[in-house]
Amino acid sequence: MKTKTFFSAAAIALSLSAFTTFSTAEKDVLGTWKLDEASIPQMVDGIITKAVAAAPDAEDKIKESKGEIVELVKSLQVTYKADGTYESASTQGLKHGKWVLTDKNHNIQITKADGTTRKDSILELTASKFKLLNRELKVTTLYVRP
C-alpha cells in the first residue's frame, strides 16, 4: 500500500512540474500588443532621429519618408508567447525573435532573429497596459491590447 501511495504521489508531482509557472508580470506580457495612438509620434520621431544619426547624408530622404514610417508604426503588433518567443507584424511583414524579463521584471530583453539584443525598461505592466522606455530610440511608449 505504501508503495502504491508513493508512486501515486510521485506521478502527481512529476505531472505538476511539467507545467511552467509564470510570475504575474510574465502572464501580463503574454499576448498581442499595439502602440497606443498617443505613442505613435514619439516612436516615429525616435526612428527618424536614429536613422538620421546612422546616415546623416540621407536626412532629407529619411524625413520625406515620414508618412511611410507613420504607417509602419501604426501597423505594428507584437505578440509575446509563453515559450519565450515573439512575433512582430507590420507593413514590412513578420519578424521573429526571443524575449525574457530581466532584473526582477524591471526590464525586457529582446533578441532579434539576427542575434542583436535590446533591453528596454518596463515602466508599467498590467494585463491591459505595457509602458516601456525604449532605450534604443530613447522614447517612452505605451502599448495596449488591440
Residue type present at position 125: L
pLDDT of residue 137: 95
**pLDDT of residue 4 exceeding 70:** no
pLDDT of residue 16: 43
Q: Among all chains, which residue has been given the C-alpha cell 546612422?
A: 54
d(CA 86, CA 109): 11
Nearest-10 crossing angle of helices 40-54, 66-75: 130
40-54 tens-digit pLDDT: 999 999 999 999 999
Element of type H or E holding 43: helix 40-54
Residue ranges of the domains in the chain? 23-144
Average pLDDT, the chain: 89
23-144: CATH architecture: Beta Barrel (2.40)
73-130 tens-digit pLDDT: 999 999 999 999 999 999 999 999 999 999 999 999 999 999 999 999 999 999 999 9
